[in-house]
Structure 1
């Protein structure tokens, strides 16, 4: 029953966000990728299975894990920047996942300190925003070809990858402990399959645009993890999750307003 609940929650959440994202530009898709989808589900089921304190401790380690998630996007980007053709897709996947695992392996050595881990992910966001700044903006100007022209098949693929990732991460939580489980909870269970679909359907340039804005979207996940680490012990699992999600939504709204104002001032 618990496994079925994980699959249903993940499927429904991915489909809901995908319907919103498909009406947005690649830039906004990259920002929306930072919405706490997989991380929120993983931490929620950590709390359900292992208790609120376990989930709160895991959230502290999810913070530096978000830096590893950005490393995944960076590693993938390094390949498609040099070899944009689809025959290098397997190498891009291996490089991206390798960067995530290497970064997570290093970051697991950090102490359980909320402030330090926050500074680590903040530094990563600022660093990769700078590294991605030179990527040119590309809009979607064609319809997807082949099997990915079927929207429901695309959604099924994304939801299946996300569900499998959630089942694996939450299933290993007790064995791994809150430190390593928290790092794995940062894996981009929704953005990673989206990267594959964008690459196959629209090419490397469109995917690069989404990757360029991925560090900005990570901010919502940072807010969520900080909220979970503080609110789960105070409010419990269900109310703590709701309050943490509201904090992330508030961040995205404020960030969107700030960017709109800055854009107006530049023009």
Structure 2
């Protein structure tokens, strides 16, 4: 029953957000990638299997783990920036995953302190936002070919990778403990397959645009993890999840409002 619930919930949420992202620009797709999809599902099942206290502790470690997720996108982008041909896709995947693992291994030395871990991820967001700022904006101007032209195939591909990742992360939670499990929960289970799809379907430049805006979208995940660490012990698993999701949505709405105001000012 639990395994079935993980598969259904992950599949449904990935497909729903993917359908929304189809109607957005690469910039907005990068921002939407920060919506707490995989992390929310992982922390929810941590709470279901190991208890809300375990999930709340994990959320504290997921905060700096989000830095590893940004490093994954940055490592991938460094390869496709220098070697944009699709033949170098395996090298880009290896570079991205290596950046994530090395960063996560380093971050596991941090204490279980909400303030310290928050500072780490805020620093990472500001740093990579600066490093990726020079990437030019690119819009999707071509249609994918082959099997990638089939929207249902790409959706199933993305949902399949996300579901496999969730099953692995939640299955290892008890063995890893809240610290390592929390770091692993930061893995971008939705954005990583989206990166592959964008790269294969539209090329390195369109993907680079989404990666450029990924650090901005991470803010919603930061808010979610902070909310989980506070609400799960107080409100329980289900109400704590709902309140945390509402906090993330409020952040995204506020962020969008701020960007719109800044755009009006610049014009």
TM exceeds 0.5? yes
Q: Which residue of 2 aligns with 1:118?
A: 118
Deviations 1:10-40 (A, max 9, x none): 0000011011100000000000000000000
Correspondences of 1:37-48 after superposition (within 5 Å):
37-48=37-48
How many angstroms apart in 1 are the aligned matches of 2:87 and 2:20? 30
C-alpha separation in 2, matches of 1:184 and 1:84: 29
Instruction: Show the counterpart of 1:130.
Output: 130
Looking at structure 2, the residues matched to 110 and 145 of structure 1 have their Cα atoms a distance apart, in angstroms, of: 45
Please state how far the C-alpha of 1:144 moved relative to its aligned partner.
1.0
Paired residues in the alignment total 267
Q: 2-side partners of 1:192 and 1:60: how far apart? A: 22
Distance 1:61 1:117 in 2: 7
- Mapped pair 1:175 → 2:175: yes
* Aligned residue in 2 for 1:104: 104
Aligned counterparts of 2:26 and 2:103: Cα–Cα separation in 1: 26
Which residue number in structure 1 is paired with residue 187 of structure 2? 187
Gapped regions of structure 1 (runs ≥ 5): none
For residues 75 and 24 of structure 2, the distance between their equivalents in structure 1, rounded to whole angstroms, comes to 25
Query: What CA deviation, in whole Å up to 9, does each residue of 1:142-179 have, x standing for no partner?
Result: 11111110000000000000000000000000000000
CA deviation map 1:164-220 (0-9, x unaligned): 000000000000000000000000000000000000000000000000000000000
- Indicate whether 1:246 and 2:246 are aligned: yes
1:60 alignment partner in structure 2: 60
CA displacement at 1:43 relative to structure 2 = 0.1
Q: Runs of at least 4 residues of structure 1 off by over 2 A?
A: none
> Pairwise mapping of residues 15-164 of structure 1 onto structure 2 (< 5 A)?
15-164=15-164
Q: TM-score, normalised by structure 1?
A: 1.00
Distance 1:92 1:5 in 2: 33
Partner-residue secondary structure (3-state), 2:18: helix
- The TM-score with structure 2 as length reference comes to 1.00
Render the CA deviation track for 1:49-97: whole Å, top value 9, x for unaligned: 0000000000000000000000000000000000000000000000000
Q: CA RMSD in A?
A: 0.3
Partner of residue 225, structure 1: 225
- Equivalent residue of 2:24, what SS? coil
